[in-house]
């Protein structure tokens, strides 16, 4: 499976596209701030673009982690939010 994320840096929204995933598995994306607090969690589905609103986010760098249903991190990246 692979995860594509765009745009980066982002202003008001961020897109994620999960592909090649097992159709019976569940995947969850979490955006975490610099203090380790989870700011947003969303469920990802295979081959469907998921858009996350960043309008209420402060500018800065966040960590995006995508976990499988067992909690294993299958993808992570930094997301830069600019205003």
- pLDDT per residue over 60-78, tens digit each? 999 999 999 999 999 999 9
Are 18 and 47 spatial neighbours (Cβ–Cβ below 8 Å)?
yes
3-state secondary structure of 71: coil
Residues in the chain: 83
Are 12 and 83 spatial neighbours (Cβ–Cβ below 8 Å)?
no
Are 60 and 16 spatial neighbours (Cβ–Cβ below 8 Å)?
no
State yes or no: pLDDT of 53 exceeds 80: yes
Contacts of 35 (CB under 8 A, 6+ apart): none
- pLDDT per residue over 3-28, tens digit each? 999 999 999 999 999 998 877 789 99
The pTM assigned to this predicted structure is 0.91
């Amino acid at each position: 499976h692979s995860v594509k994320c765009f745009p980066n840096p982002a202003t008001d929204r961020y897109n994620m596209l999960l592909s090649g995933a097992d159709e019976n598995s569940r995947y969850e994306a979490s955006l975490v701030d610099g203090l380790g607090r989870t700011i947003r969690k969303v469920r990802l589905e295979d081959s469907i673009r998921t858009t996350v609103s960043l309008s209420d986010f402060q500018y800065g760098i966040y960590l995006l982690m995508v976990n499988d249903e067992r909690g294993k991190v299958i993808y992570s990246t930094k997301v830069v939010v600019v205003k």
